[in-house]
Structure 1
Amino acid sequence: MYQLIIVDDEIHAVEGIRLGMDWSKLGIDKVLTAHTVKQAKELFEEKRIDIMLCDIEMPQASGLELAQWVRERFPQTETIFLTCHADFDYAKQAIRLGSLDYILKPVPFNELEKVILKAKERIHKEAEFIQISQFGQFWFQLQPMLNERFWQDILNQTIPSNPQALSLAAADRNIEYLAEMLFLPILINIQRWHKSLTLREEKILEYGLKNSAEEILLKSKKEGLVIALSNRRILTILSLEEKEDLTAELEQEGQRYVEECSHYFYCDISCYIGQPVHGHEMLDMVNKLNELDRNNVAYNNKVFFLSKSQINSSHYEAANIKLWSVMLNKDSFDEVLSESTEYLNGLDRGVLNADLLNRVYQDFQQMMYFVLQTKGIQAHQLYSDSFSQQMSLNATRSLTNLLEWVEHTLIKAKEYVHSVEQSLTVVQKVMQFIQLNISKDISREEIANHVFLNPDYLTRIFKKETGIAVSDYLFQERLRIAKELLIKTDMQISAIASHIGYVNFSHFSRMFKKHTNMNPNEFRNTHQQSKSKIIISGVEEDTRL
């Protein structure tokens, strides 16, 4: 028989649980109560206690502190936490402290009954384990690790995927394995977390997800294994009898697993159920499930069967990128966000796959970079922070992630453009306009219109701040770029003239010679010869050394 203790500072809550349960039906012959952590510790020192129901929020010392104390001194006791708050920190600590479950108040008696039966089952298994010989203890501790490593080696191709190699590897590790055995893989992918987590918090929750998979998906199956893979993935492998069909059962259990994990572990998650295979076919089947997961960019918290999957068509209606570019150049960021969100939400889920989503992402990114360039903004000024980089990496994993990335990209661009425009002086805006339009035949009037000023007034304030007229600044910038292109490239001189806004090549040559005392060709030859002499001189110096 089993003994249980209820620890809660609320006397009515303790009595409600004590009187509300049929303890004899559950095989509990004695129910102890305590209203403080101190009283509970005293009872632990005097009595053998198998199961502890413990409130988390108590004065003086919390239930979490009591659980830590019990775990250190009485590790055979199974702990079940009770609380009024569905708080993440409590759930995280409960997992870390090895609690059996975590129940919200008011306590549902039918749920508590199930958890107590589960606690008894665990206690019974541990008692049987203790009775086994020392060698047997070591073997049963080691065996799950050997099985897990066996399948990981198959998936990592350390063990070749052929029947003979698998049989030899299993025999070497003393693992029960027959080439005729059938296995059913279930791939679980954590699509995203609902809140920001540290790496340690992620690992704790992934451990909880793995335990839940063992409890729900393995259920009555005696032969099965749950393996933690990389990249937020978990693989469940079930051993099947010949012609055994678990489709209906797994669809129900898989959906229950998805819903409970989404609720209790703060994540979106999907299950991909494969088809029965022999051991040497497992790698190929898991690769197919990975591909199914890769192309699931439209749905969250869903169960998929490989046998029911369809190949998606690659046809889709492209976004109106050209129109959005024009709108963004006019600073209509909110309108583009609204239209792009409507477009993405309107995509046919039936044809949407990873390749199509990536195509949409690349087109949108290209548009954004082009628009930013026309405004004189380099993309790294906005998106080089770690959060933006992570958003970009995740964008093509799902439609949800792409929507979040589009919103983040547009809002950040809007805020940056507006802040730049507000901080620039009139003269700085004129200089920026000239830089962005250097290849066009722009006039003084066009420049003045850009800043909404009279051309004569603009000339006065520009000269007052810079010491030169607007037209002189425009020419100096064109001359500077022309010199660099003549020295550093092999572009035709006529192409260079066109690049800096001169339609008339002869006019460009005259203006260039007027300010440099050389025509463009003479300037290029002189400076490229000087550059060659420097290089040759450097080589000779290296040779002497």
Structure 2
Amino acid sequence: MLKLMIAEDELSFRQGIIQMIDWSFYGIEIVGDAMDGREAIALMREKKPDILLTDIRMPYLNGLELIQTAQDEGLSFFSIILTGYSDFNYARDAVRYGASEYLLKPCLPEDILQAILTVKEKIDKDHRNGSSLEQLNQNWNKNIPLLKNQILNEWLSSPPLPLEDRGQVLDEVGISLTTSRIHIGLLRIDSLDRRKDSKLYKRDMALIRYAAINILTETLLPLFHGLIEPIRYGEEILWLANIPENETDASLKDKMEELQRNMETFLKISISISLSSVKPSLDEVHTAYLEAVEAMAGRFYQGKGGVFLFSEYDQRNLNHVSILENEELHQLEKEIRLHLENQLYEEALDDMDQWLNYIRNTSQYEKAEVNLRATIFILELQKFSQERIPTAFEWKDNLINWVEQVPSIETLEELATIMQKIIQNIVEIDSQQKPLHRTVQAALDWIIMNYNTSISLESVAKETYVSNTYLSSLFKQELGINFLDYLHQYRVEKAKELLKQNYKIFAVAKLVGYQEERHFRTTFKKWTGLTPTQYQKK
């Protein structure tokens, strides 16, 4: 309710104003009445009314002096003047002191009410305008992060327009950057224990990105002395920052590794990070972004969880021969097919390793190029399997599934796992009618009995009375897989059984022979394409 105060030296007139009108009905509360100017100013200091209804002629302070004194003391109110004098000078002075209304005595209660309601409408309007302005300010402040993100996204995607002053924009929007020594960091989340097509995945990723940006900011703020702006760019998290003059690549890497540890500690996620070179001007952030993306390509060859600096990046020779025309890879693929045809499985596996190592060591092809070459080779192996093993319909379906998986792989290691599994399955199907070599069978029996202990190629070779090299060769020839990969696959199959029974993941790791849960999680994901958590929730 609005607060009304009355200053009037005539008691009967003052009481009539108070008693003859139902002020509460109009949303008005009378907070006090005074019989002279001195009492009125004291009451105003205490009650701070919204409206003052005052007579001009009063003892000690007249109405105009009362208004002036209250205004000088910083009180904010609307005033209505009552007077028995119709002199223009009084009216003029009343207006000069900010009086909203001017009433001549004698006046009726309705006249007083109408004057006060007119002032009340002005106050309500001011409040509405003030609220609107406050709301605008709140909306502006709330949308500042979104505006920053939009502006920085535009800068990442294109060079500046003619006459564009990005330095001025920094000041206007409050972006915490200067215009020189700019670099960009790109953060990529390596994995999350959810299926990508699920609602939970989308919800969790939104929450994790939000938390990751907070951890990123807290970790890197001291490094850049507060001159950093983390943003979302599509599905990516990145930051723009001003690099201090004395910062080295080594110290940058150390800080990035600290960021990785913090993400692991607080969010239980692995991240890969790439950094652009330092650009002299804010106008070059689009180039810096492309460098960060190019540096992140090192993740395909070196694996997830790394820190990749553009300054250390071995830039690809843009004139290299297309991977589809690479004769060395073509020759290795021919040899793999020939060895499979002649049942020389150890040689086929060795050639597959050479095929993968050739790509790994050259590191000059884009991920999409490598995936395309791998897809073509898988289709050739599919054709080979159809011609050689026409009844293996289940296997042909697996081949198709692997072709579908290739575009989504993120590292060469993931591709290597797929290619190794393909060779292994061709060998398994091709060897179904043949008995296993007795040494291999003995080794498999030993694994079945002791898979949950710390067994190794050396210990099993000792138990089967052969050399490590010979046992390794036999595994490749008979099973199409090396010893250690077979052991991991067997343990993973046993782990699946325990996960179906809702065992805790750390317990499953111990029960199938892994001392470290982290190693178990990595191995399980490698051979199943799912994390233990994902598998358990299927």
TM-score normalised by structure 1 residue count:
0.43
- Specify the structure having the higher radius of gyration (Cα): 2
